[in-house]
Amino acid sequence: MTFVLSRTYTVQGFILKRINYCEADKIITIFTREKGKQVLLAKGIRKICSRRAGCLELFNHTKMMVAKGKGMDIVCDTQLDCCYPAFSQDYHKTQIAYQIIELVDKMTREEQREEEVYDLLHKAFQYLQKTKLDKAKKNKVLLRFKLRLLDILGFGYPEQINLPSLKLYIEDIIERKLVASKSFAMD
């Protein structure tokens, strides 16, 4: 009996990060239900004629066909499942979305399945998409997301429960500064 190992697989998840690589490629970080955080190579994505580029924008929920590579796995095909147009139309929603994806990226490990984190990310994006935000609600959303993420990942809570102490607590855990919360000062 012969077993044939497939060199391709399908993943579905949220785009967390994109880094330019070589002349026409990007390194994509995606967070999936099945495999957790994955880093993939999207060849030719920066070319003007690339049809896959729109699917691989930050925050998008995308389905991908991926081929196993020698170093990094390679994105072969993409299909957009869901985008969040409200994020690009509302500054506060953009702020929160950037902070959320940075937290998920920095606080999770590659190739470690984290279904609860995936569900939390999905619920947060759905909530942001449909909710009108003011400053108080924005801070409440961030506070609740950070607390729930810390709880799911088993890190516990700081002594004081407020955004500045949570930020410092998380920075101690990840041993680096959070960039998104610095870029978007809490108005």
Q: Which residues pair with 38 in a beta bridge?
A: 30
* Per-residue pLDDT tens digits for 99-158: 999 999 999 999 999 999 999 999 999 999 999 888 788 899 999 999 999 999 999 999
pLDDT bin (cut points 50, 70, 90) of residue 12 is very high
Count Cβ atoms below 10 Å from residue 184 Cβ, excluding itself.
16
C-alpha–C-alpha distance, residues 84 and 106, integer Å: 22
C-alpha–C-alpha distance, residues 147 and 142, integer Å: 9
* Per-residue pLDDT tens digits for 58-101: 999 999 999 998 889 999 999 999 999 888 888 889 999 999 99
Residue 155: the pLDDT is: 95
The structure's pTM equals 0.89
Residue 3: the pLDDT is: 52
Residue 30 · residue 13 · CB < 8 Å: yes
Q: Which domains does the chain have, with CATH numbers?
A: 8-82 (2.40.50.140), 85-183 (no CATH)
| Higher pLDDT, residue 186 or 26 | 26
